[in-house]
Amino acid sequence: MKPDILLVEKMMPYVEERLDADYTVHRMYDPEAKAALEAALPNIRAVATGGGTGLSNEWIEKLPLLGVIAINGVGTDKVDLPFARARNIDVTTTPGVLTDDVADMGIALMLGSLRHIAKGDAFVRAGQWGKEGFPLGNSPKGKRLGILGLGQIGKAFGRRAEVFGMDIRFWNRSPVKDTSWKACASPVALAEDSDVLCVIVAANAETQNIVDADVLKALGPKGILINIARGSVVDEDALLAALNDGTIGGAGIDVYLNEPRIREDFFTAPNTVLAPHQGSATVETRVAMGELVLANIAAHFAGEKPPTTVN
Ligand code: 8YV
């Protein structure tokens, strides 16, 4: 008998095939699998889920034999880590393997915003080229980049931005020793000293809405906000107001509150490039993330500590 596991959201077919080979996989996202899932709840011993989706405490309580929650991502904001630990459940993530792709996505959004890539695409397709003018973009070279949250991904973003000739500064909650970039005293001080502000801080209770109306005002009417962290770290009311009234110049956004049903106000926000949470979404990285999910679940069933346990 293959052990029962729960798959909360879709993973790439290659990874799902590997899961199916070793386990009886109950898919939470498949409405047709609901009855079988209900019947299997007492037997489920492992969960695989996404960073943006996690697993609620309500669900954890439905699974008495649960021993591991394998997050296919690095964000732990959607799993209550102490709650899981108190039930002897290991929570694992996929550190390291997605750093470069998420940083690349931030760069793509920054250049997309500075150079009007999405607007240009729509302009060409609409046959407007030659009929009306197209706005000049802005060069990243010589611009001040503020990185809000200087972890692994923040550093990878900064290294890339240096190649574009940007001047880097950052704010981080705890001091960062291994950098020569300038540290700013607060998110507002960072925004005041930045032309582009990239948010890549871990989401938790302390960082909720850390980018608020004051930070956006400090960024200013030419400033560009890039969010590759989580929707919860930006006050979306303040952001939408700032985009619409010109308090900031534009934004490149990969993450939102209530994904995938984001606020429709984003659809009409000016000078804004939107991506559907694609930071780690490359074939190469999703294979590497999948391998870690598989290894963590396999370790649990082998009676070993899952290798990338975080709680
Ligand atoms: C993934 C993420 O898109 O790492 C994270 O926390 O949010 C992303 O890498 C997600 O985990 C896949 O659902």
pLDDT computed for residue 78 by the predictor = 97
Task: Answer whether 132's CB lies under 8 Å from 115's CB.
Answer: no
309 inside domain:
no
The domain in which residue 87 lies consists of 4-96+284-301
69 inside domain:
yes
Shared domain for 69 and 110, answered yes or no, is no
What separation in Å is there between the alpha carbon of 129 and the centre of ligand 1? 37
Is there a catalytic annotation at residue 230? yes
50 inside domain:
yes
Shared domain for 84 and 219, answered yes or no, is no
SS3 66: coil
117 inside domain:
yes
24: number of Cβ within 10 Å: 15
Is there a catalytic annotation at residue 169? no
Instruction: Please pick, among 16, 259, 263, 291, the residue that the annotation labels catalytic.
Output: 259
310 inside domain:
no
Of 1, 69, 5, which is closest to residue 36 (Cα–Cα)? 5
Our count of domains for the chain comes to: 2
For residue 176, the one-letter residue type is: V
**Ligand 1 lined by 223 (C-beta under 6 Å):** no
Shared domain for 79 and 104, answered yes or no, is no
Per residue in 278-300, pLDDT tens? Answer: 999 999 999 999 999 999 999 99
What separation in Å is there between the alpha carbon of 167 and the centre of ligand 1? 29
26 inside domain:
yes
**Ligand 1 lined by 280 (C-beta under 6 Å):** yes
SS3 145: strand
Shared domain for 80 and 38, answered yes or no, is yes
Shared domain for 51 and 153, answered yes or no, is no
For residue 211, the one-letter residue type is: V
159 inside domain:
yes
Task: Answer whether 174's CB lies under 8 Å from 203's CB.
Answer: no
Shared domain for 259 and 131, answered yes or no, is yes
Shared domain for 133 and 35, answered yes or no, is no
**Ligand 1 lined by 75 (C-beta under 6 Å):** yes
**Ligand 1 lined by 286 (C-beta under 6 Å):** no
Shared domain for 117 and 212, answered yes or no, is yes
Shared domain for 254 and 203, answered yes or no, is yes
Instruction: Tell me the C-alpha distance between 64 and 231, whole Å.
Output: 31
Residue of minimum CA distance from atom 9 in ligand 1? 73
**Ligand 1 lined by 73 (C-beta under 6 Å):** yes
Residue of minimum CA distance from atom 8 in ligand 1? 73
Cα separation values, 95 from 229, 293, 299, 310, Å: 15, 11, 17, 10
Question: What residue spans of 68-115 are helical by DSSP H?
Answer: 81-86, 99-114
Substitution site in 9, 15, 55, 74 for ligand 1 pocket (most atoms within 8 Å of beta carbon):
74
Of 24, 19, 18, 63, which is closest to residue 45 (Cα–Cα)? 63
Shared domain for 59 and 124, answered yes or no, is no
Instruction: Tell me the C-alpha distance between 172 and 182, whole Å.
Output: 11
* pLDDT tens per residue across all 311 residues of the chain: 899 999 999 999 999 999 999 999 999 999 999 999 999 999 999 999 999 999 999 999 999 999 999 999 999 999 999 999 999 999 999 999 999 999 999 999 999 999 999 999 999 999 999 999 999 999 999 999 999 999 999 999 999 999 999 999 999 999 999 999 999 999 999 999 999 999 999 999 999 999 999 999 999 999 999 999 999 999 999 999 999 999 999 999 999 999 999 999 999 999 999 999 999 999 999 999 999 999 999 999 999 999 999 99
Is there a catalytic annotation at residue 18? no
Shared domain for 42 and 140, answered yes or no, is no
Q: Which conformational region is residue 18 in: left (phi greater than 0), alpha (psi within -120 to 50 degrees), or beta? A: alpha
Q: What CATH number corresponds to the domain at position 121?
A: 3.40.50.720
85 inside domain:
yes
pTM of this structure? 0.96
For residue 246, the one-letter residue type is: G
For residue 89, the one-letter residue type is: I
Shared domain for 154 and 92, answered yes or no, is no
**Ligand 1 lined by 54 (C-beta under 6 Å):** no
Would you call 255 exposed, middle or buried from its count of C-beta atoms within 10 A (0-12, 13-18, 19+)?
buried
What separation in Å is there between the alpha carbon of 301 and the centre of ligand 1? 24
**Ligand 1 lined by 290 (C-beta under 6 Å):** no
